[in-house]
Structures are given as C-alpha cells and as structure tokens.
Chains A and B, each alone.
Chain A
Amino acid sequence: DAGVTQSPTHLIKTRGQQVTLRCSPKSGHDTVSWYQQALGQGPQFIFQYYEEEERQRGNFPDRFSGHQFPNYSSELNVNALLLGDSALYLCASSSTPSQPQHFGDGTRLSIL
C-alpha cells in the first residue's frame, strides 16, 4: 500500500524563479494539505484541498497557489521565489478533511 509520495525530493532554484511541487495521496485518501517547515520549526499550514477546491488557507501570500486533480493528486506552485522560501515542503493526506493526516517524505527546496 503506497503511502504519500512527493516529487521531486530536492530542488535548487534561484530568486525570482517559479517552482511546482507534486504530491500523490495515500490510497483511499481524498484530502491533501500542504505545509512548509523551516529548519528547527514545526510545519506551517499553507492550504488544504478537498474535492478539487481549496478549502482553507494559512497565512501565506498569493505567490503560493495549488491545485487538486480528479485523481486527488495535488500540486503546489510558488512564484517569484524568495530566499526565505527555502524550506522542506510537506504534503499530507487524509481520508476526509477531519481524519488524521499522514505525511510524505517532503521536497527540500533551496533558493540561491
């Protein structure tokens, strides 16, 4: 039973570029949430997708956007990258929005 899968594992970008991160939820899960984790901090909620709609958004600028596809997979897009966007980006899935969330291995994004 495949868990939550994320790609790519690592990514290096420069300031001002754009990036797309991808996530496939665990089998049987239809809800996907994205988090940003800076070094030494807990994950920060970016947004949650359910039924292909953004259901809730955390305190992140509009440069962060997302999408959920009919097969429940999801993308996180970040435009106009800043040095401060360097972090581990985590995708979590759950069987419904209220059920426990399970995390993928994350994408480590470095901005030069």
Chain B
Amino acid sequence: QKEVEQNSGPLSVPEGAIASLNCTYSDRGSQSFFWYRQYSGKSPELIMFIYSNGDKEDGRFTAQLNKASQYVSLLIRDSQPSDSATYLCAVNLASGSARQLTFGSGTQLTVLP
C-alpha cells in the first residue's frame, strides 16, 4: 500500500464547476497536509495547507481534513482553464525535528472552456 494515494485522473470539469480532488494516507501519525499545484514542465507550487480536522478556505480553494478516515481533499470552486494542472497531495511524516514530505503521484485536472 502506498503511503499517499491519489486518483491519477485525468479529471475533467467544465469551466465554472467545482473540482474535487481526493487523497488518502496510511500513517496515522501524520500531522500536516499540503496541496501543491504543478503545471507541466514547472515545479510544484504550494496552494493550501491544513493541520486540523475540518475545512480551511482560501479564496476559491477549500481543503478538507478527516484524520479518523485518513482522508484529505481539495475543492476548487468556479474552476478556470488556468486551474488545469497536476495537483499533488503531500503529507508530513513527523520524525523528530525533521519533516519529510511524502507525495502522492498527483491528479491531472483539466478545466474545459
């Protein structure tokens, strides 16, 4: 079992719709959860992070965390073609003072005009 799993997609949504991206993780000791956006040929860009159960909203983005179910999701409201990218879920596996990010393989999102 992979430590962090994401549906690889591709996920296609029409412009203006809500895109829902999901991620599960295996380590119950995980403490921090991150969503990165990666455009083709570019490096990952941090768009959201969440530490506590519940929802965290930032503009059109909402991160949701359920530690009991070991599940984290990202909702993108009013999706735009510029949101088309690969979305990487990352989990912080705490080990002493260091913080190692473990990534899923990413979900490719396409927003259709």
Contact = CB atoms under 8 A, between A and B. Distances in A.
A binds B: yes
B43 interface: yes
Contacts of A97: 97-99
B60 interface: no
Interface residues of A, number: 26
A90 B42 CA distance: 10
B98 A50 contact: yes
Interface in A33-50: 33, 35, 40-45, 48, 50
Contacts of A104: 43
**From B88, B97, B101, B103, residue with most partner A Cβ within 10 Å:** B101
Interface of B: 4, 32, 34, 36, 42-46, 49, 88, 90, 92, 94-106
A42 B43 contact: no
Contact of B97 (A42, A55, A58, A100): A55
A35 B38 CA distance: 14
